[in-house]
Amino acid sequence: MSVATPPKSCPRCNSIISEDSPGGLCPRCLMQFVAMSTGGADFPTGDRLPPELETLRAAFPHLEILELIGQGGMGVVYKARQTKLDRIVALKILPARLARETLFAERFEREGRMLARLNHPNIVGVYDFGQADGLYYLMMEYVDGVNLRQAFASAHFTPHQALSVIPKICEALQFAHDEGVLHRDIKPENILLDTKGRVKIADFGIAKLSGPDDKTGLTETGAAIGTPHYMAPEQVERPSDVDHRADIYSLGVVFYEMLTGELPLGRFAAPSERTATLDARIDQIVMRSLEKDRDRRQQSAKEVRTEVEYLSSHASDKRMQHNEAETKPSIMDSIESHPRYAYRSTLAIALVIASILLPVAFAMNRDVGMETIASYLAMISLWLGIPGTFLGFLHLHYLGLSGYRNGLMTSVLAFTFWPLAIAICTILWIAGSLLSPFQQRASTVVDLFELIVLPVISIAVFVFGVWSTKKWIEKTRPDPRFANKAIHPVVEVLHFVMKAFTVILWAMFGLFILYMTPGTTGIKSTLGYDGKPQNNLPELNLEIVKISSIENVLVIDVKDSSSSIQMETSDVDEGAQIAGMGGNSATQFRIIFEGPNLLPEAEVLASDSYQGKVFFPGEPTGPREFDLSRGKTVTLAFALPDAKSALACKLRVEREIQEGTPSTMTVLDAHQMHLFWAPCKLGMYNAYAERGR
């Protein structure tokens, strides 16, 4: 019987030798020494026994074999020192039975090369492999630490620790999978934790190498390899048809074990049912990875990693963050963990900013007044700002759900900004119109950009918005990140309202654009009053029937459609009477083409009232009086100096009254229309641009 010895520590492993130790010896060292054979006939388990130390020393003269550190079905592992490099390595000797298999050498060669390629901080590196004195060996990086199984046993493994280990395993797995290497035997014994807390996966692909002893020796023949409880169902049933998702299953088993301390056998409970302190959102990740059907698992290790990292960095449940200071997730965290929504929010914000900057830039370039800027803003903000706001609102809200707590407030701000801005612009616009009575509806700015580019962008944005929303909804169900977060009903209603609002707005503006494009679409535009005349003047309804272009000449057909009162260029009496001016006066129309950069000839050709060059085709000789009477169509043609000036030109109609002497003319009213939308046939621009050079 043993002699009772006072507590002392083992000189070899430094562990405390308790009183009940057999023979007063360190039980750990004793048992380990039993496992480490130095020769002699041993228990008849044949091949499974490690080779004799003498044999090893002979086979590896350049190595100093230090100790046996592990033993299992896949061979034995020794700690050894490479004397030349003075480097500690792990030497794995594969079971001798393998060497007897036919074709093993070839397979070993092939696999060994592949394993040596796996160079990753979370994978135990393979330095060398080969055969020495009939022993197949792998020389690997030595990891000073414990495996996960030992970690389970020695310390209480918290879910938080599990959450920090899993992503690293995933990283390594993803790397190997990308290289086309499957592990096939993920289990706690193969996951090592070194003293610095690094995680390393050992024995990559070894399972395949030292597969079961089937007749041909080739695992490709379809024998199941792996460790039963950690094997994916398909790995057992159809071993020949195994892909990287089998590793994901095994990882799921390890994950489950880490969280609950048990294996997921039979009809197993969700981890949070087993361990009360767990965040229920972990369940979805674990249960998904343990799906029998591999199509329903996470499709890549990276996916698992993202999910777990998301949870660990945004555990709303404080219990998840055991020892860490309680930190409120910042919006940057949210954005980093949620690139998809962050990207869309950014796009939305860009749209909103563009909707402010673009009109301002346009307006500045054209040297126009405040009221024009306001109208630009109103217009473009409707096109860009509304969908931008809409998207921004949605995605900021989703970001908010994902852990950024101020997300909702921010999205409300984003949501209210543009409706407010639009309202303000509309008020400015109306005020501007009221202040200058001649700026009527016809002054609404429509140009080429708005006509072509904006609809395209808007439609694209709309499609994108619908698509991303749809994607989001699809993603919502299996995505554990939003699992426990219900969307607030108010948000849902707003979502719908914003959508409907956007669609209606776009439809309205589409119609408006059509309406504002005379001639080409059959819908006519008028220059002048369309309803009740102001200032008791007779109704004026000059209709622009058609706008076309011949090279650099803009051709506009104008028709007088005034219904009630006859309009003549020299309709002296009636006009004057109606205008209440009485006496010997005559009303005249003047059609003025205004623009900032007209050609030099324009000045020569212009009369005192015509600022543009007005001529009729075939008679380009100068300004002419023309007869514009009711029902009659007059064709006006203007030569434009360049495309840019065309964009800023206005067609203006003034009604004048001649009082007393013919030299005194009083302007009764004026109507103007911007013409940039008119030369929408790009041919004109192009032709002119070429001529200009």
Partner 1 sequence: MTEPLARIGNSNRRFMTTQWTHVLSARGESAEAKESLKELCDRYYSPVLAFVNCYTHRDQNAQDWTQAFFAKLLEGRSLDTVLPSKGKFRSYLLGAVKHFLSDERSKHQAEKRGGAVEHCGVEDVDVFSIRVAKYNEKALDALFDRQWALSILQLSLQDLEKELGASQSTRFELLRPWLSGDSIELSHADIGVKLGVSAEAVKVTIHRWRKRFREIVKAHIASTLADIAEVDEELSYLIQVLASTSSATMYTTY
Nearer to partner 1, 153 or 508 (CB): 153
Max Cα–Cα distance, the chain, nearest Å: 144
Give me the amino acid identity at 582.
G
* Burial grade of 376 (CB within 10 A; 0-12, 13-18, 19 or more): buried
Whole-number minimum distance, CB 250 to partner 1, in Å? 19
Whole-number Cα distances in Å, 500 to 379, 416, 496, 503, 509: 18, 16, 6, 5, 14
Q: Which residue has the tokens 């679409």?
A: 521
Whole-number minimum distance, CB 11 to partner 1, in Å? 5
Whole-number minimum distance, CB 38 to partner 1, in Å? 7
Asked if residues 587 and 576 have their Cβ atoms less than 8 Å apart, the reply is: yes
Nearer to partner 1, 2 or 570 (CB): 2
Q: Which residue has the tokens 């414990």?
A: 146
Distance CA 420, CA 424 (A): 6
Whole-number minimum distance, CB 66 to partner 1, in Å? 12
Give me the amino acid identity at 520.
T
The answer for residues whose C-beta is within 8 angstroms of residue 534's C-beta and 6 or more apart is 437, 669
Whole-number minimum distance, CB 67 to partner 1, in Å? 9
Nearer to partner 1, 100 or 488 (CB): 100
Concatenate the DSSP letters of all residues of 121-178 into one string. TTBPPEEEEEEETTEEEEEEE---EEEHHHHHHHS---HHHHHHHHHHHHHHHHHHHH
Chain-centroid distance of CA 322 in Å reads: 32
Nearer to partner 1, 149 or 499 (CB): 149
Whole-number minimum distance, CB 281 to partner 1, in Å? 25
Nearer to partner 1, 75 or 392 (CB): 75
Q: Which residue has the tokens 């011949």?
A: 550
Nearer to partner 1, 210 or 443 (CB): 210
Neighbours of 50 (CB within 10 A): 20
Whole-number minimum distance, CB 228 to partner 1, in Å? 13
Nearer to partner 1, 26 or 114 (CB): 26
Whole-number minimum distance, CB 398 to partner 1, in Å? 41
Among 86, 178, 185, 293, the active-site one is 185
Distance CA 376, CA 444 (A): 9
- The DSSP letter of residue 441 is G
Q: Catalytic site residue 557?
A: no
User: What own/partner pairs with CB < 8 Å and gap ≥ 24 does 156-159 have?
Assistant: 157/258, 157/261, 158/322, 159/258, 159/259, 159/275, 159/277, 159/278, 159/279, 159/282, 159/320
List residues binding partner 1 (CB under 8 A).
1-3, 11-12, 15-16, 18, 20-35, 37-45, 48-49, 70-73, 146, 149-150, 153-154, 261
Q: Which residue has the tokens 């963990």?
A: 337
Report which of 201, 193, 122, 203 is spatially closest to residue 154, judged by C-alpha positions: 193
Distance CA 514, CA 584 (A): 44
Nearer to partner 1, 39 or 478 (CB): 39
What residues act catalytically? 185
